[in-house]
Amino acid sequence: MKNNNFYITTPIYYPSGQPHMGHAYSSIIADVFARFMRNDNYNVYFLTGTDEHGLKIQKAAEKENLEPLIFCNQISKVFKDLTKSLNLSNDDFIRTTEKKHHISVTELWNRLVKSGDIYLSKYKGWYSVSDEAYYNLDEIVEKNGKKYSSFSGSIVEWVEEESFFFKLSAWQNKLLDFYDKNKDFIIPYSRRNEVVNFVKSGLKDLSISRTSFTWGIKVPNNDKHVIYVWLDALTNYLSALNFPNTNDKLYKNFWPASLHVIGKDILRFHAIYWPAFLLSANLEPPNRIYSHGWILSGDEKMSKSKNNILNPLEIIDNYGIDQLRYYLMKEVSHGSDGNISLKSLENCINSDLANNYGNLCQRVFSFIKNNCNNVVNRTKIITKSDKLLIDETNKLTKNLRLEMNKQNLNQYIKSVIDISFLTNKYINDEEPWKHKKQDIERMNNILSLALEQIAKISILLNPIIPKASTKVLEALNLKNQSRNLSFLDGSNILSDKIKINELNILFKKII
Ligand code: ME8
């Protein structure tokens, strides 16, 4: 991480079909980290976009009887609209059909040539159009006379054509050295081990151009060849920063990237090819690749070709975007695959959002409205039970930055929702309503601590449920510039005289 700058990316999506829950999941994870870092006063640049070249897209366009670019314009827009529906806070939406991307890819290619890492030969082997990936013979399985990748299950076809190659084999030891020096380059560690073992088992040179179709960026000075779509696509992370203009402010501030969020199916491209290309081009590799698991439906990866898609837009319409974001981040465990269902979504909404956080906010706000004319005064007294709640909260918040830094979202959310649970319990035990008549000071004391807790919980949940938490922070009259994580040092967020506004119901219980 350079100074206070944090550059985070999602994978750029193939606009070959409608967005599905896997896309939503990948994007929301990245958005949560982006929002968390912004709240922690980092200067964040968050990128997403669409990956528009290659045979997969060309074929999808042909199926619709459209020119590839017209087809891409249509579907890229669907993904751009998805960023709005998911409430993503991205700073840019890159398309690989943009001119600046073309310039960037051409420069990267030229640098690889200059390093002596590109040569012309012939590719003979298996290729999956759906994955846009080459597979070795030992990665192919046969079923009913057809050949499939054992890794992804996608159908493969035999390819034999002239191709430029990247001398990946020459980078084997340098990559192993790089992984060794950068232990946190690939998270989680189980994935890091997979990559290290794969590289140790031997790397073959990589075919980086195709001649049997035309939809892509041409190899400089050789119109017969189209640059391999993964070399093209990975470069988006640089072109968004206006590379090769290395004096550009964006490039200067944000390269190398702090974090690429990706699914485990595209780990090899990001953790092996990408650093090798960058090192060969004399550019710094990113700081970290976080590889999440798959969203499953039954036991299978959710994907269009398998027709087992839960539509994120329908879920958002029926349940709400914060609800979907919270559910995916809380219930799908860090780095692993996760089975999702409407039943567990509804249970999660009820237990954590409606009954826990939502209920805490509602009961405190409506009590203050009905009994205190919307104003609470903090007192200096701190009772034993107040201190217990404050200490327990500090214990739970102590490691939150660390959990986020390890991309451990589940643990982060669990700790925050535990604070909400403890605060609800504190109100049950302290019964502010009992002090209404005889001890207004104690009542104010309890309510001000409860509001302080609500402010903290809302700031901590803000990256995950931005809409609802913002409503609460607004109702607390907390200014934008105060909605940050500086309270993690134990200080108070709210002033001594707290004026609140009315708060409408945040999360409806699902019956
Ligand atoms: O891979 N569960 O694009 P893509 C979780 N264009 N994540 C899933 C998923 C699932 N069921 N299905 C897909 C590409 N994803 C390339 C990226 S980056 C330079 C180029 C994730 O549209 C997948 O792992 O097929 C990937 O991270 C993202 O969605 C985009 O997939």
Q: What is the mean pLDDT of residues 13-37?
A: 94
Q: Could you read off the pLDDT of 380-433 as tens digits, one per residue?
A: 889 999 999 999 999 999 999 999 999 999 999 999 999 999 999 999 999 999
pTM of the predicted structure, to 2 decimals: 0.96
If you measure from the C-alpha of residue 263 to the centroid of ligand 1, how many angstroms do you get, rounded to a whole number?
Answer: 6
**17 pLDDT more than 90:** no
Instruction: For the chain, give the mean pLDDT.
Output: 95
For the CA of 11, the closest atom of ligand 1 is 18
Structure-token pair, residue 311: 């539509």
Which residue's CA is the nearest one to ligand 1's atom 9? 22
Q: Is the pLDDT of residue 30 over 60?
A: yes
Mutate to test the pocket of ligand 1, among 9, 20, 23 (most ligand atoms within 8 A of CB): 23
Residue 299's pLDDT is: 60
Q: DSSP assignment, residue 484?
A: S
Q: Which residue of 26, 270, 289 sits with most ligand 1 atoms within 8 Å of its CB, as the best mutation to test the pocket?
A: 26
As a whole number of angstroms, the distance between CA 382 and CA 227 comes to 67
Determine the average pLDDT of the residues in 365-376: 97
The secondary element (H helix, E strand) that includes residue 443 is helix 440-461
Atom 22 of ligand 1, nearest CA residue: 13
Q: Is 25 in the pocket of ligand 1 (CB under 6 A)?
A: yes
Nearest protein CA to atom 19 of ligand 1, as residue = 234
Of the chain, the percentage scoring pLDDT greater than 70 comes to 97
pLDDT value at residue 298 = 63
Would the CB of 265 count as within 6 Å of ligand 1? yes
What's the whole-number mean pLDDT along residues 77-88? 97
How many Å lie between the centroid of ligand 1 and the Cα of residue 131?
Answer: 10
Nearest residue CA, atom 8 of ligand 1? 22
- Ligand 1 close to Cβ of residue 274 (< 6 A): no
Give the pLDDT confidence score for residue 333 in this predicted structure: 86
- The tens digit of pLDDT for each residue in 2-16 reads 579 999 999 999 988
Residue 264 Cα, ligand 1 centroid: separation in angstroms?
9
Q: Which atom of ligand 1 is nearest to the CA of 236?
A: 19
pLDDT of residue 304: 55
Pick the closest to residue 29 from 330, 337, 402 (CA basis): 330
Residue identifier of the C-alpha nearest atom 10 of ligand 1: 22
Q: What is the pLDDT of residue 3?
A: 75
CA of 12 to the centre of ligand 1 (A): 8
Residue 113 has pLDDT above 90, yes or no: yes
Burial (CB count within 10 angstroms: exposed 0-12, middle 13-18, buried 19+), residue 252: middle
Token readout for 202 is 């031997």
pLDDT value for 162: 97
**% residues pLDDT > 90 (the chain):** 91
Residue 259: per-residue pLDDT: 98
Spatial strand order of the sheet with 289-292 comes to 92-95, 43-50, 5-9, 259-263, 289-292, 186-187
User: What's the gap in Å between 353 CA and the centre of ligand 1?
Assistant: 28
Cα 11 to ligand 1 centroid, rounded to whole Å: 6
422-426 CB contacts, 8 Å cutoff, 24+ apart: 422/389, 422/392, 422/393, 422/396, 423/360, 423/389, 423/450, 423/453, 423/454, 423/457, 424/356, 424/359, 424/360, 426/385, 426/389, 426/450, 426/453
**Residue 22 Cβ contacting ligand 1 at under 6 Å:** yes
CA–CA separation, 466 vs 87, rounded Å?
Answer: 8
With cut-offs at 50, 70 and 90, classify the pLDDT of residue 25.
very high
pLDDT given for residue 306 in this prediction: 56
Best mutation site among 31, 51, 261, 337 for ligand 1, i.e. most ligand atoms within 8 A of its Cβ? 51
Is the backbone of residue 132 left (phi > 0), alpha (psi -120 to 50) or beta?
A: left
Q: For residue 217, name the pLDDT band (cuts at 50, 70, 90).
A: very high
- Between the CA of 330 and the centroid of ligand 1 the distance, in Å, is 20
Given a contact cutoff of 8 angstroms between Cβ atoms, the answer to whether 9 and 237 are in contact is: yes
User: Six-digit token pair at 357?
Assistant: 């956080």
Task: Read off the pLDDT band of 434 (50, 70, 90).
Answer: very high
Question: What is the pLDDT at residue 311?
Answer: 87
- Give me the mean pLDDT over the 162-166 stretch: 98
For residue 20, the ligand 1 atom closest to its alpha carbon is 12
Helices (H), ranges, 355-439 = 359-372, 384-397, 400-405, 409-430
Best mutation site among 262, 308, 311, 334 for ligand 1 pocket (most ligand atoms within 8 Å of CB): 262
Mean pLDDT calculated for residue range 211-220 = 96
- Mean pLDDT, rounded, for 131-143: 93
Distance 22 CA to ligand 1 centre (A): 7
User: Ligand 1 in contact with 12 (CB < 6 A)?
Assistant: yes
60: confidence class by pLDDT, cuts 50, 70, 90: very high
Task: Tell me: pLDDT of 365 over 80.
Answer: yes
Whether ligand 1 lies within 6 angstroms of the CB of 206 is answered as: no
Task: Give the pLDDT of residue 335.
Answer: 81
CA dist., res. 335 & res. 343, Å (int) = 22
What is the atom index within ligand 1 of the atom nearest the CA of 14? 22
Residues 263-314 have pLDDT tens digits of 999 999 999 999 999 999 999 999 999 999 999 876 666 665 555 567 899 9
